[in-house]
Amino acid sequence: MSVPQIKATQLSNAGPDAPVLIAGPSLGTSGTALWSSTAALLDGFTVIAWDLPGHGNSPAAAEGFSLPDLAEAVAGLVKAATAAGDISETQDLYYAGVSLGGAVGLQLGLDFPKLFTSLAILCSGAKIGDAESWETRAETVRTQGTPAVLISSAQRWFAEGFIEREKGASAALLHSLQDADRFSYAFCCQALAGFDVRERLAEIAVPVLAVAGSDDVVTPAAFAELIAAGVPQGRAAVVSGAAHLVPAEQPAATAELLGGFFRPAN
């Protein structure tokens, strides 16, 4: 295993002194497709979204990686952007991630405790699913490609009526899944198979907001409540009318939640 290469895209720019939000993706999505609508509504923040290996703008992975490897990749991205002057050392840094991106957020809180002022963990958990199911999905996608999980993903991702109501947004997300590198997707599944930080939540020192979609069957509200109860400075919230991709499904509610959570620290 090794630290994978990842790329990021700036979705909004609020100026050189504005706080910076690093936004993490869900498995099968690009950061742009998932976060663009929320970024446009999150006034006063520069939003930078990163992509998983083999997703969006990130190159495919040649070998497997773990959640700590992904966290190290994100930390390296931030440090490189700071060294290049794209992020100022005086700017406050925040993190928000969805599903796998949320799991990376928890890992960042453990492995890089001083990198971010606070963390938002959306539609995620300290452990997601079970190892056998992730290994099965990894094998399915490795052999058949991401189109093999397109229908099942759409059923899990979106609350009822979203596809019909937001045809462009849902199509962009499903296209990002279809275009994802199958081997990198499988590596992501295997990384999730080995992820479990339930017993380490108390080690996360920064404030954490755990968010669940009201209709999420993958990571329901109990997952957010477990994180909030386990982290010393944790709180949970539920977004109505959303399933597993809250920033895309309910961008206004997401922007309000994140803005209200992050701004008191400014």
Is 205's pLDDT higher than 70? yes
Q: What is the pLDDT of residue 264?
A: 59
At 25-43, the pLDDT tens digits run 999 999 999 999 999 999 9
Is 86's pLDDT higher than 90? no
Mean pLDDT, all residues of the chain: 96
Averaged pLDDT for residues 76-94: 92
Closest-CA residue to 246 (of 226, 265, 220, 207): 220
Residue in the block written with tokens 């446009």:
40
Instruction: Please state, in angstroms and rounded to a whole number, the distance separating the CA atoms of residues 121 and 73.
Output: 18
Q: Name the strand (E) or helix (H) holding 134.
A: helix 131-144
This prediction's pTM: 0.96
**Superfamily (CATH H level) for 8-265:** Alpha/Beta hydrolase fold, catalytic domain (3.40.50.1820)
The alpha carbon of 24 is separated from its chain's Cα centroid by a whole number of angstroms, namely 3
Averaged pLDDT for residues 194-198: 98
